């Protein structure tokens, strides 16, 4: 489930977070920020996990099927790994169009 409060602007930043049933204080903090007027964007951890399972795995597919996938889908789930593994997930995790030599790339960063 997603929650959003209007008011996002350059001078009114947003708080973004994932919620989990085993960490209810995360949701409480986001609700407090929302109540004080800050934009909050958050997703239930289960909903996020469910979303990831719907993204097709490219491992074992022929190149024609991979090429037919949308750009940000075909290099996301490879051999059961998110943004890692073969055939292209690790190599194409980061967009090289804007900053091809960007420093400090790490495994936890979303890449795009």
If you write DSSP's letter for every residue of the chain in order, what string do you get?
-EE--S--BTTB-EEEEEEBTTBHHHHHHHHHHHHTT-EEEEEEHHHHHHHHHTSPP-TT--HHHHHHS-HHHHTTEETTEET-STTTTTTTSS-TTT-TT-S---TTS---
Considering the domain boundaries, does residue 112 fall inside one? no
State pLDDT tens for residues 75-107: 889 988 888 888 878 777 776 676 677 777 766
User: For the chain, what is the domain count?
Assistant: 2
Residues 48 and 65 in one domain: no
Alpha-carbon dihedral 109, 102, 104, 93, rounded to 10 degrees: 30
State pLDDT tens for residues 2-15: 444 455 555 677 77
Whole domain around residue 78: which residue ranges?
A: 56-107
pTM comes to: 0.57
């Amino acid at each position: 489930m997603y929650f959003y409060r209007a008011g996002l602007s350059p001078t009114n930043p947003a708080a973004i977070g994932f919620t989990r049933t085993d960490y209810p204080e995360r949701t409480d903090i986001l609700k407090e920020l929302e109540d004080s007027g800050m934009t909050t964007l958050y997703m239930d951890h289960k909903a996020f996990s469910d979303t990831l399972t719907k993204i097709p795995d490219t491992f074992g597919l022929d190149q024609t099927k991979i090429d037919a996938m949308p750009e940000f889908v075909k290099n996301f789930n490879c051999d059961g790994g998110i943004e890692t593994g073969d055939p292209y997930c690790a190599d194409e995790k980061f967009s090289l169009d804007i900053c091809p030599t960007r420093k400090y790339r790490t495994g936890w960063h979303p890449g795009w």
